[in-house]
Amino acid sequence: MVDQNDVRRIALALPHTSEASGHFGFSVANKGKHKQFAWTWNERVEPKQPRIPRPDVLVLRVSDLLDKDALIASDQRKFFTESHYNDFPAVLVRLELIALPELQQLILDAWRTQAPTDLANSFQPEAT
């Protein structure tokens, strides 16, 4: 089982990545802006009340809606979405159900969706 410490370690090992202040999230610098690629899901527990952070669920950017649908179809317990993310290229991941190697690849893929194209294309992660 993985947790937020694993997410942090993986994300911060990627070039030009920083952790958000004030919430659990990671972004990559791209053309002077910070493009978020991974963050904690905030669940709406009570209608018309603030959302509650869920440290056991990670939101990850994906390349497109087809990629999102394919992940969800591959394992609906591990990957899911909710109405807030309809028509948005991100998938929700239950950390307790994902293996470390798969999480590493998903975080790298999420980072590549937001990183500058040249950096994303040239970056080769170290083998673990």
Chain-centroid distance, C-alpha 95: 11
The answer to whether the Cα torsion of 115, 120, 123, 125 is positive or negative is: positive
Task: Encode pLDDT of 10-60 as tens digits.
Answer: 999 999 999 999 899 999 999 999 999 999 999 988 888 899 999 999 999
Task: Encode pLDDT of 63-94 as tens digits.
Answer: 999 999 999 999 999 999 999 999 999 999 99
Contact 26, 11 (CB under 8 A): yes
Tokens describing residue 117: 């194209």
Domain edges within the chain: 4-122
Q: Does domain 4-122 have CATH number 3.40.50.720?
A: no
Tokens describing residue 123: 């970056």
Please provide residue 81's backbone torsions phi and psi, each rounded to the nearest 5 degrees: -145, 180
**Which H helix or E strand runs over 11?**
helix 4-12
Number of Cβ atoms within 10 Å of the Cβ of 48: 5
3-state secondary structure of 104: helix
Give the global pTM: 0.94
